[in-house]
Amino acid sequence: MVGGCYQTAYPDWLFVAWEPGIERLVWPMFVHEAMHWYQYQNYFPYLLAAERAGVSDEDYERALETDASCRAVYQHGIDRSAFANSSSPCDLEDWYEGWFVDQLAALGVRTSAPTPEEFEVSGVVRP
């Protein structure tokens, strides 16, 4: 068994543990967890928007895990079989950069910047 965890409470740490004899899966798990670090570094505004929209992390957890594994496969050359029997398989044939953000949008999360008109923002005129 091998397992890993990225926790935002420890942003400079990746946690990975494994049993003897399974060392071949340690690197894929490390890369998967590093992809969670990447997600939180680059997608935090979208995760915050999800929270504000009432979309819980349970609603997008599968997409977050799939994105981390597929990012490891498609961008970093990890063999997808390393994740096949895990709780985070890369079972997509068409993953792309931005896939996770699109999954959030499908859940009703606003992923585009607001326009001034939406907030009735007008320019300040000084006398």
The pair phi, psi for residue 104, each rounded to 5°, is -65, -45
Residue at 126 is within a domain = no
**Tens digits of per-residue pLDDT, 32-73?**
999 999 999 999 999 999 999 999 999 999 999 999 999 999
Domain count, the chain: 1
Residue at 127 is within a domain = no
**Tens digits of per-residue pLDDT, 90-115?**
999 999 999 999 999 999 999 998 77
**Tens digits of per-residue pLDDT, 11-22?**
888 888 888 888
- Of 65, 68, 48, 44, the C-alpha closest to 56 is 48
Residue at 41 is within a domain = yes
Whole-model pTM? 0.83
Give the model's pLDDT for residue 121: 62
Residue at 20 is within a domain = yes
Residue 106: which domain range?
Answer: 2-119
Contact in structure between 61 and 90 (CB atoms under 8 Å): no
Tell me which H or E stretch contains 44. helix 26-52
